[in-house]
Amino acid sequence: LAGTDLREYAMAVCYPGESRARYLRHCDVSRGAVLTSILYLNDGWRSEDGGCLRIFWPGSVVSEGSRRVADASCGEAHVKEDVLPQAGRLLLFWASEEVPHEVLPTR
């Protein structure tokens, strides 16, 4: 991480259950970040609340012009891990094309 500027834009989000909010499959390359960090602050989360972070194996996102979009042919077979959004959990992963991910719908 030598030469990395740790002062970058922060993204704070809330995925409310009543709107079945989600964030479609993507890679965090467009914002110029090196590392993605996610800290869950949702006390009282239950599995029926949904909103898991789904991480896919590399190659499940493709280029469409200047945008990176989900490769519909990949489907569920390329799921690497579903991470439960439990309060206090901190996730760190490379902000690269090697870590496509999405937030599953909340309930």
More confidently predicted of 36 and 31: 36
pLDDT of residue 17: 78
pTM for the full predicted model: 0.75
SS3 98: coil
More confidently predicted of 91 and 15: 91
SS3 99: coil
Beta-strand (E) ranges in 1-107? Answer: 23-26, 35-39, 53-56, 61-64, 67-70, 79-83, 90-94, 101-103
Whole-number Å distance between alpha carbons of 103 and 52: 6
Whole-number Å distance between alpha carbons of 64 and 37: 26
Task: Give the gyration radius of the chain's Cα atoms.
Answer: 14
Encode pLDDT of 68-95 as tens digits: 555 555 455 589 999 999 999 999 999 8
